[in-house]
């Protein structure tokens, strides 16, 4: 008799992403001890040897709760019992701008980047599920931040690191949280429920426990699945638009003496707005404007320098930059 259907589903998704990794390489599971990442770790421990890969597990101790060190030690023991080697924990300090959620995420990724570098890992697996994806789409919709934000979390991403870059993979985006819990139960794994995941002080928690249930009750079942499917389609659209924008940027950019980066206005005018605004954002970022603070209001103002120019002088951008129009060029330079 085969494994429980939930276990089989998780293993299948993990098997698919492992198939593209180099034989003999190390793969790490990032595991908080919750049901999603614990099911992921169990599936990785089973599938990696069969794919000719080495598998390890890492848990991050954010230090945000009493007893977090002991909790991290318990997760490490579970990872080791699964056969993951190495299995370890990394303590981080959570501080910085953007609120605790953002600071914790930044600290977590920095620690995982470092662990992947030290261990020479070909990839780090993350346990985000279809429900996480649906929440991300709703949060993006509330921010009104465009197609890229509504496309949710990618199935893979590369982050620059001290030794090059780290590949992160999300194999579970087509599976829901209920499947993860059933898989843990079937594998004899006891997940830990982080109390932060039930704290309504966090916007994502309110989306999870209030907004999505209301949508399910009002519209009907399957909202999370539909949102995740929408994210996948929007990601394909956003990727295509970004590719067009990258090509247009290379065709239109030039270097102006004393002013750094410039774009030809006549070429910008001929672009569809969806592509043009991406080119403008790309140019501003390459000129040094921080992408995290470069907002739609800045991009719209730059677009007016191209399409509705009436002699306005410049647009101030985050990072001590400004965009201004001169002699048929849109220039980006310091204030």
Q: What is the mean pLDDT of residues 119-126?
A: 97
Domain finish residue from 199, 219, 234: 199
- ∠ CA(135), CA(214), CA(34), 5° rounding? 40
- Tokens 């370890």, residue located: 88
191 plus 290 within the same structural domain: no
181 plus 75 within the same structural domain: yes
Confidence (pLDDT) at 95 = 82
Q: Is the pLDDT of residue 259 over 80?
A: no
Whether residue 204 is contained in a domain is answered as: no
Q: What is the mean pLDDT of residues 312-316?
A: 89
How far is Cα 13 from Cα 23, in angstroms, rounded to an integer? 18
177 plus 318 within the same structural domain: no
195 plus 306 within the same structural domain: no
42 plus 176 within the same structural domain: yes
Selection from 37-51, 181-195, 241-255 with the highest mean pLDDT: 37-51
Whether residue 229 is contained in a domain is answered as: no
Q: What is the mean pLDDT of residues 251-255?
A: 86
Whether residue 247 is contained in a domain is answered as: no
How far is Cα 44 from Cα 183, in angstroms, rounded to an integer? 13
Whether residue 115 is contained in a domain is answered as: yes
Taking phi first (over 0 means left), then psi (-120 to 50 degrees means alpha), and beta for anything else, what does residue 288 get?
A: left
310 plus 179 within the same structural domain: no
| CATH code of the domain containing 47 | 3.40.50.620
194 plus 263 within the same structural domain: no
Confidence (pLDDT) at 67 = 85
Q: Is the pLDDT of residue 65 over 70?
A: yes
Q: Under DSSP, is residue 194 helix (H, G, I), strand (E, B) or coil?
A: coil
Q: For residue 315, what are the domain limits?
A: 257-334
| CATH code of the domain containing 316 | 3.30.465.60
Q: What is the mean pLDDT of residues 326-332?
A: 92
Selection from 118-122, 136-140, 207-211 with the highest mean pLDDT: 118-122
Give residues with Cβ within 8 angstroms of 312, minimum separation 6: 304, 305
How far is Cα 258 from Cα 28, in angstroms, rounded to an integer? 47
Whether residue 225 is contained in a domain is answered as: no
Total domains, the chain:
2
Higher pLDDT among residues 140 and 322, named by residue: 322
Whether residue 64 is contained in a domain is answered as: yes
How far is Cα 166 from Cα 116, in angstroms, rounded to an integer? 7
Whether residue 194 is contained in a domain is answered as: yes
Summarize pLDDT for 138-156 with one digit per residue, the tens.
Answer: 988 887 667 777 888 999 9
15 plus 117 within the same structural domain: yes
Confidence (pLDDT) at 251 = 95
Q: Are 289 and 297 in contact (CB under 8 A)?
A: no
Confidence (pLDDT) at 97 = 64
191 plus 267 within the same structural domain: no
195 plus 262 within the same structural domain: no
Q: Is the pLDDT of residue 112 over 60?
A: yes
Whether residue 143 is contained in a domain is answered as: no
37: closest CA among 225, 180, 237? 180
Edge-first strand listing for the sheet containing 253-256: 253-256, 260-264, 329-334, 321-326, 315-317
81 plus 168 within the same structural domain: yes
Domain finish residue from 199, 218, 234: 199
42 plus 121 within the same structural domain: yes
How far are the Cα atoms of 32, 108, 191 from residue 91, in angstroms, in the given order?
A: 12, 9, 20
Neighbour-count burial for 304-318, b at 16+ CB within 10 Å, e otherwise = ebbeeeeeeebbebe
How far is Cα 319 from Cα 287, in angstroms, rounded to an integer? 9
Confidence (pLDDT) at 131 = 94
Residue 91 has, within 13 A of its CA and on its CB side, a CA count of 9
């Amino acid at each position: 008799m085969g494994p429980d259907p939930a276990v089989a589903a998780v293993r299948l998704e993990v098997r698919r992403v492992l198939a593209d990794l180099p034989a003999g390489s190390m793969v790490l599971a990032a595991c908080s001890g919750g049901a999603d990442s614990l099911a992921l770790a169990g599936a990785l421990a089973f599938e990696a040897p069969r794919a000719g890969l080495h598998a390890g597990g890492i848990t991050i101790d954010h230090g945000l709760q009493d007893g977090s060190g002991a909790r991290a030690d318990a997760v490490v023991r579970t990872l080791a019992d699964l056969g993951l080697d190495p299995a370890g924990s990394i303590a981080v300090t959570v501080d910085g701008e953007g609120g605790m959620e953002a600071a914790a995420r930044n600290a977590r990724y920095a620690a995982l980047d470092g662990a992947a570098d030290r261990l020479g890992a070909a990839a780090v697996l993350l346990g985000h599920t279809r429900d996480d994806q649906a929440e991300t789409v709703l949060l993006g919709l509330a921010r009104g931040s465009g197609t890229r934000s509504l496309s949710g979390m990618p199935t893979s991403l590369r982050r620059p690191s001290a030794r090059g870059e780290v590949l992160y993979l999300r194999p579970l985006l087509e599976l829901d949280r209920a499947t993860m819990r059933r898989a843990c139960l079937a594998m004899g794994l006891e997940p830990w429920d982080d109390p932060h995941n039930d704290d309504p002080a966090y916007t994502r928690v309110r989306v999870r426990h209030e907004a999505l249930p209301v949508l399910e009750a009002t519209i009907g079942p399957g909202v999370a699945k539909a949102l995740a499917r929408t994210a996948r389609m929007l990601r394909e659209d956003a990727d295509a638009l970004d590719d067009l924008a990258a090509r247009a940027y290379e065709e239109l950019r030039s270097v102006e003496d004393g002013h750094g980066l410039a774009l030809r206005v006549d070429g910008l005018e001929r672009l569809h707005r969806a592509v043009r605004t991406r080119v403008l954002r790309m140019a501003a970022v390459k000129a040094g404007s921080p992408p995290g603070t470069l907002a739609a209001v800045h991009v719209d103002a730059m677009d007016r320098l191209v399409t509705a120019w009436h002699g306005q002088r410049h647009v101030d951008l985050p990072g001590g930059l400004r965009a201004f129009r001169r002699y048929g060029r849109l220039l980006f330079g310091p204030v």
